[in-house]
Amino acid sequence: MGQAVSINDNILLLTDDGPRLKGAVCNDCGTHVFPAASGCSKCTGSSMSEAVLGTEGALWAWTVQGFPPKAPPYLGETDPAKFQPYGVGYVTLEGELKVEARLTEADSKVLKSGMAMRLTTVPIAQDEDGNDIHTFAFEPV
Amino acid sequence: MTDVAIVGIGMHEFGRHEGVSGMEQGAIAVRRACSDAGVAWNDIEFAYGGSYAAGSPDTMVSMLGLTGLQFINVANGCATGGSALSSAYNAIKSGAYELGMAIGFDKHPRGAFSPSGPAGEGRDWYGGSGMALTTQFFGMKINHYMETHGITNRSLAKVAAKAFRNGSKNPMAWRRKPLSEDEILQAQMLSYPLTQYMFCNPGEGGVALVMCKADVAHKYSKNPIFLRASVVRSRRFGSFEVTAPSLAIEHNGGPTIDASKAAFELAGVGPADIDVAQLQDTESGAEVMHMAENGFCEHGEQEAMLANGDTEIDGRLPVNTDGGCLANGEPIGASGLRQVYENVLQLRGDAGERQVPNDPKVAYTHVYGAPGISGVTILTR
């Protein structure tokens, strides 16, 4: 096992207290955005500050990715013989936004809107130095 | 302000055409439309053209003739055809031109549209993580809708089965083999709850429409069709659209609702007046949701409407009579214009085996595209 590294430090921080998502908040109206942006999609203002998003929420909408995505850009397994379907959904982070993420659960009989979820990470590939590239995901609580 | 008429329509068969470029398919559609209107390419004063993957549309003048016309390219994702039409509509309506064309064609590689994520520094985390697929958005949107409004998987299969059944009656369609609801339900699950046969495929084809000022329409056609509204709207804050890494907590119904309302207002008619509708069916769930978003029913009513056969060719509100995107595929530049082509045939009474009965008089089209654009037209005889 290599060392765990973030897929992109601009959006995912791996801290001692666990993973954190990095977005931005509008200084004028308080709207959160992810990923960070230079303008607010609600009030059209352009004064934004960095914001670390919440880590728990409720599943709002979901699907299961049933076939390997194209690579590039996909970094994970694309061999149809080895590919494992994975869940994708939007999780409501109360008072902030709904964030789209991979889900650790991929069973359509288990996934249900409203279920409580918590931020985690999943390894998706190795980089050229042998580190494990982690991306963010939500797991049922 | 002058009214606008469609006096000529031309189409190149949708599907896969080895050895024929997308632009050639567009040029063939243009020639067919000119011939239908009884005009020559020389007579055309302006054109708006759209293509996503088959070259810059204005360069097609080298195939058609260098007449010096105003030719403007349009690009609006899957709503490109609708946007070309809206631009042409406004050019005539403004009084600037008398006779022009809306043209769309495309030729996409096989397989799903390539995902693309938000631009940013460093590694492409969005596509890299296995998100950014348009198919996931469609799966999530209909799945959420089904949980909220009680739509069943069987209804999704009914929509797809209808599309292939209607496509089998359309000589211009790509997929002309009827499939049973069970075959559709049992096919490979691509993005739950949507199976392989519930999704349309990128394809090839071309469509062209000759348009003119309404008061000169009879010069070109014995049965002109009038464009009462052509509206394009983009998304507002809170809408749920394709390839969005995050959404607002607050919810907005989306650009289809806005475009539909504006079009009905402009045309001075309501949903109950529509005799035939072509609604964006990127996948079968989209048709279900767009029935309500366009004002044809309340959310959840689709379940009973589909069970009753209300949207069949001989039903109360025939939807996607030419087989829609599911049976025709989706050459992005041409797709929205295909819907209008079909409605012109229906209003002329020229739709052959798939003709809607009882002499339809008012027809509706709706096209939807990334990153959240809807285009609506309303046509009358």
CA distance B98 to chain A (A): 39
Chain B partners of A39 at a C-beta cutoff of 8 Å?
none
B122 — contact with chain A (CB < 8 Å)? yes
- List the domain range (segments joined by +) for residue A108: 4-140
Q: Mind listing the domains of chain B with CATH numbers?
A: 4-110+200-380 (3.40.47.10)
> What does the CA dihedral B268, B269, B271, B275 come to, rounded to 10 degrees?
-140
Q: DSSP letter at A45?
A: -
Is B115–A69 a contact, with Cβ atoms under 8 angstroms apart?
A: yes
Task: Judge contact between B358 and B234, C-beta under 8 A.
Answer: no
Task: Kindly tell me the burial class for residue B299, based on how many C-beta atoms sit within 10 Å of its own C-beta (0-12, 13-18, 19 or more).
Answer: middle
Q: Which chain B residue lies closest to A121 (C-alpha atoms)?
A: B129
Q: Phi, psi at residue A134, to the nearest 5°?
A: -105, 140
> For residue B358, which amino acid is it?
N
Is B188–A97 a contact, with Cβ atoms under 8 angstroms apart?
A: no
Assign B366 to helix, strand or coil.
strand
Task: Kindly tell me the burial class for residue B318, based on how many C-beta atoms sit within 10 Å of its own C-beta (0-12, 13-18, 19 or more).
Answer: buried
The predicted structure's pLDDT at residue B156: 98
Chain A partners of B134 at a C-beta cutoff of 8 Å?
none
Is A7–B120 a contact, with Cβ atoms under 8 angstroms apart?
A: no
Is A100–B120 a contact, with Cβ atoms under 8 angstroms apart?
A: no
Residues paired with residue B369 on neighbouring β-strands, in sequence order: B373
A54 — contact with chain B (CB < 8 Å)? no
Task: Judge contact between A31 and A41, C-beta under 8 A.
Answer: yes
Q: Which two tokens stand for residue B330?
A: 């989706």
The predicted structure's pLDDT at residue A66: 97
- Gap between the Cα atoms of A74 and B261, Å rounded: 39
Task: Judge contact between A43 and A50, C-beta under 8 A.
Answer: no
Other C-beta atoms lying within 10 Å of the C-beta of residue B152 = 13
- Choose among A41, A69, A133: nearest Cβ to B237: A41
Q: Which residues contact B138 (CB under 8 A, 6 or more apart)?
A: B191, B194, B199, B242, B282, B283, B285, B286
Q: Work out how many CB contacts closer than 8 A connect A with B.
A: 135
Q: pLDDT tens, B167-222?
A: 999 999 999 999 999 999 999 999 999 999 999 999 999 999 999 999 999 999 99
Is B140–A61 a contact, with Cβ atoms under 8 angstroms apart?
A: yes
Chosen for mutation from B108, B116, B125, B129 (greatest number of chain A CBs closer than 10 Å) is: B129
The predicted structure's pLDDT at residue B161: 98
Task: Judge contact between B89 and B195, C-beta under 8 A.
Answer: no
Phi-psi region at B2: left, alpha or beta (left = phi > 0; alpha = psi -120 to 50): beta
Is the pLDDT confidence value at B320 over 70? yes
Query: b/e map of B236-269 (b: 16 or more CB within 10 Å)?
Result: beebbbbbbbbbbeeeeebbbbbbbebbbeebeb
Residues 297-336 of B with CB under 8 A from A: none
- Gap between the Cα atoms of B91 and B84, Å rounded: 11
Closest CA to B339 of B312, B321, B365: B365
Q: pLDDT tens, B254-291?
A: 999 999 999 999 999 999 999 999 999 999 999 999 99
Q: pLDDT tens, B124-151?
A: 999 999 999 999 999 999 999 999 999 9
Is A108–B246 a contact, with Cβ atoms under 8 angstroms apart?
A: no
Chain B partners of A96 at a C-beta cutoff of 8 Å?
249
Q: Which two tokens stand for residue B27?
A: 């040029």
> For residue B283, which amino acid is it?
E
Is the pLDDT confidence value at B100 over 80? yes
The predicted structure's pLDDT at residue B371: 85
How many domains does chain A divide into?
A: 1
The predicted structure's pLDDT at residue B356: 98
Q: Which residues contact B55 (CB under 8 A, 6 or more apart)?
A: B21, B22, B23
Q: How confident is the model at residue A47 (pLDDT cuts 50, 70, 90)?
A: very high
Q: How confident is the model at residue B78 (pLDDT cuts 50, 70, 90)?
A: confident
Mean pLDDT of A91-115: 98
Is A62–B143 a contact, with Cβ atoms under 8 angstroms apart?
A: yes
Q: Which two tokens stand for residue B284?
A: 């079968």
